[in-house]
Structure 1
Amino acid sequence: MKLTVHGALSVRQRGLSLIELLVAMVIGLIVTLAVTSVITVGEGKRRTTTSTNDMDQAGAYAAYLLDRAVRSAGSSLTQSTQPTDRGVFGCRLNVASLLPASAFPAPFAKNFKAASDLRVAPVLIAKSQSDAGSDVLVVMGGDAVAGGVPRGLTDPGSANTLSMDNTVGISTDDLVLVSQNGTADCLLEQVTGTSTKVLTVGGTYYTAGKTTSLQTLAASTSTYVTPLGNPANGNVQFQLFGVGDSSTLYGYDLLQGGGTATAQALADGVIQMRALYGLDTNGDGILDAWADPGATGYDISTVMTTTATLRQIVAVRVSLVMRSASKERDPVSAASLTLFGDAVDASKKSLAQTVTLTGADDTHYRYRVVDFTVPLRNMLLLP
């Protein structure tokens, strides 16, 4: 018997072989790794760019704050030196229970040495005296609207009254500075009442005087009263600036006008602040040389008690060292930064300063040096 098989069909394979699947998986992994690498690199660059931009903006803002404060330094005070000295520059500042002080809050608590003997000056620089080792800027000035023209006393006053030719332009709550040439102390007082020729003082900022009494000054016709303006307007400034913890620039109001006894954070990312005095040594209104606040004769203790030196200071040069918040995997910065590389003193000696990055990871951050010069316009207006 013969068996015949009809309709035999060939079986055709369908889909991918194992080898083809493995090849496809390898290609997919390579593409995934490539895309991931591109995203990772892009994200790293984005973080770096964002961190750098934040650092630049913080530096610009810090420079703006310092420029605004220093540029108006000496307002209402500078006219006290011409045509005769009224005893304002270099006088020991007495303010209620605030000044003289035993110490100031951080970052001015540990190293700032002038707290107990702070003198009136448009600008002072305390070399390396913040808690973090930066320079400290001391800025003083009043409200330009007040005029700042000193007025001599015409009749004896008392422990809370000052008698003068007129009280035009002085209002209740204004601050005035009571000084006398040859007297070490000057007293900052607040006006609580006015009549045609008499100011009554008292209020928040009243001081009877610690070593020189207000009654003694008020009794002498060689005493002068300098209007400073109303502190509520925000233009009366007696401030400290310096770098503290967490790479932050702080400001402290010596008058505690905001009701706070602590320093206020102003800008972050600031690891160092250094400053130089700009001097007009011949009185022609042109900056002639720079001076390091650590040099002999230019330390804060000497400058603030030497009127002739205070008169020569017509500018301040400031360098801020900014650090980015983003840490890089590899070192991206040199181990040191140079500040004031082109500055020289009167003898042509270089005043360049070096900031050394000593921390183990310091070079893994990016840095910027913000360098700017601020003219003291009120000092430049003096004859």
Structure 2
Amino acid sequence: MRPAFSRPLPVRQRGLSLIELLVAMAIGLIVTLAVTSVITIGEGKRRTTTSTNDMDQAGAYAAYLLDRAVRSAGSSLAQSTLPTDRGVFGCKLNAASLLPASAFPAPFAKNFKSANDLRVAPVLIAKNQSDAGSDVLVVMGGDAVAGGVPRGLTDPGSATTLSMDNTVGISTGDLVLVSQNGTADCLIEQISGTSAKVLTLGGTYYTAGKSTSLQGLAASTSTYVTPLGNPANGNVEFQFFGVGDNRTLYGYDLLQIGGITSAQALADGVIEMHALYGLDTNGDGILDAWADPGATGYDIATVMATTATIRQIVAVRIALVLRSASKERDTVSASSITLFSDAVDASKKSLAQTVKLTGTDDLNYRYRVVDFTVPLRNMLLLP
């Protein structure tokens, strides 16, 4: 018989059974898989959102740069056509030894015209002539203190001097364009000194001329001097814009201001840039038609040599195609992108262009089209 004061023996502690352990592991795996799936989906959405935002910001920045450049195109040049032509539009550009002897740097090296062929115009579009096969945009202009008003020579000058009735508003270091109606060449020159009625030429941008000499132009009172601005102030613009092989929009300073001899990257993720000319065909100051820069009469060689066509161009429509940096697992884009679907030429023919996405995994990226029109305000001021 057990004593009344004795305690019961403790129950032995037991662990999980195999079935309980397997059930717990299964539940844990299910929870882990669910959490991992949520994290993976969330991370994918985050990368897509970030990549899309970066693409949108790059597009907005590229559009801002191009708008700012094109909007001022023709400044200091447009007045050289009033009231009579001073030989600026369409003249062959000479700018000391700064222009390359053969090809321009990438992305303007493979197809774009050589420096020997380049002529003066507010805006030029070279269709499909960048190294990546997109259009090249050429913008020229200046912002001189003297307002870009051309001045005629009053007395014969020399290979280093220009004589005129006054030199007000023109300072040492300024650039001027020396031209003459009926003469093919025009010369960019830099002022190295001034007096009341004489400009002395010299410095980095001095050129004696090629087929047309400065001395020959300086000797004629039918020659005009158009102030362009001062490169030290950043108000002289002779720029190229184009897309390179690495999906980047580049800009190139034709005058190499600041000693920069190569093209500079402006915006990432740009795979195509295409543009149209906006025309005022009847001279009423209103855009009434578009022109494809590849059409007959509107290729770059014809436009820059035809003053009447240059004067008709009052706007430029630009379309940028941007690609996201983040590759998606699945197909997320169509096989082609249509640009300028609503644009028509003077005969009402559609000017829509198609960009085909044929590369490996192209359809696994997202794309944006930034389409905008820039008026050439200096050309719109012409009567």
Common topology (TM > 0.5): yes
| Separation in structure 1 between the aligned mates of residue 248 and residue 96 of structure 2, nearest angstrom | 30
- Structure 1 counterpart of 2:153: 153
Would you say 1:110 and 2:110 are equivalent positions? yes
Give the letter for the 2:263 counterpart. A
- Structure 1 counterpart of 2:82: 82
- Structure 1 counterpart of 2:292: 292
Q: Aligned pairs, how many? A: 380
Would you say 1:350 and 2:350 are equivalent positions? yes
| Separation in structure 2 between the aligned mates of residue 113 and residue 238 of structure 1, nearest angstrom | 15
- Structure 2 counterpart of 1:266: 266
Give the letter for the 2:222 counterpart. S
| Separation in structure 2 between the aligned mates of residue 303 and residue 147 of structure 1, nearest angstrom | 26
| Separation in structure 2 between the aligned mates of residue 39 and residue 342 of structure 1, nearest angstrom | 43
Which TM-score applies when normalising by structure 2? 0.97
Report % sequence identity: 87
After TM superposition, list the pairs within 5 Å mapping 1:87-98 onto structure 2.
87-98=87-98
| Separation in structure 2 between the aligned mates of residue 249 and residue 87 of structure 1, nearest angstrom | 33
Deviations 1:161-187 (A, max 9, x none): 000000000000000000000000000
Three-state SS of the structure 1 residue aligned to 2:227 is strand
Would you say 1:55 and 2:75 are equivalent positions? no
Cα pair 2:177 2:227 within 8 Å, conserved: yes
| Separation in structure 1 between the aligned mates of residue 11 and residue 72 of structure 2, nearest angstrom | 96
Would you say 1:140 and 2:158 are equivalent positions? no
Residue 135 of structure 1 deviates from its aligned partner by 0.3
Deviations 1:290-330 (A, max 9, x none): 00000000000000000000000000000000000000111
Cα pair 2:145 2:169 within 8 Å, conserved: no
- Structure 2 counterpart of 1:240: 240
Cα pair 1:76 1:143 within 8 Å, conserved: yes
Cα pair 1:94 1:100 within 8 Å, conserved: no
The runs of 5 or more residues in structure 1 that have no matched partner are none
Deviations 1:257-277 (A, max 9, x none): 020211000001000000000
| Separation in structure 2 between the aligned mates of residue 278 and residue 145 of structure 1, nearest angstrom | 29
Three-state SS of the structure 2 residue aligned to 1:258 is helix
| Separation in structure 2 between the aligned mates of residue 184 and residue 114 of structure 1, nearest angstrom | 17
Give the letter for the 2:371 counterpart. D
| Separation in structure 2 between the aligned mates of residue 221 and residue 78 of structure 1, nearest angstrom | 21
After TM superposition, list the pairs within 5 Å mapping 1:202-221 onto structure 2.
202-221=202-221
The runs of 5 or more residues in structure 2 that have no matched partner are none
Three-state SS of the structure 1 residue aligned to 2:246 is helix
Give the letter for the 1:360 counterpart. T
After TM superposition, list the pairs within 5 Å mapping 1:298-377 onto structure 2.
298-377=298-377
Which TM-score applies when normalising by structure 1? 0.97
- Large movers: runs of 4+ above 4 Å: 4-10, 12-15
Larger deviation: 368-377 or 26-35?
Answer: 26-35
Residue 145 of structure 1 deviates from its aligned partner by 3.5
Deviations 1:232-277 (A, max 9, x none): 1111000100000210000000000020211000001000000000
Residue 115 of structure 1 deviates from its aligned partner by 2.7
Larger deviation: 13-22 or 139-148?
Answer: 13-22
| Separation in structure 1 between the aligned mates of residue 336 and residue 64 of structure 2, nearest angstrom | 25
- Structure 2 counterpart of 1:280: 280
Cα pair 2:145 2:170 within 8 Å, conserved: no
- Structure 1 counterpart of 2:231: 231
Cα pair 2:152 2:224 within 8 Å, conserved: yes
Residue 5 of structure 1 deviates from its aligned partner by 7.4
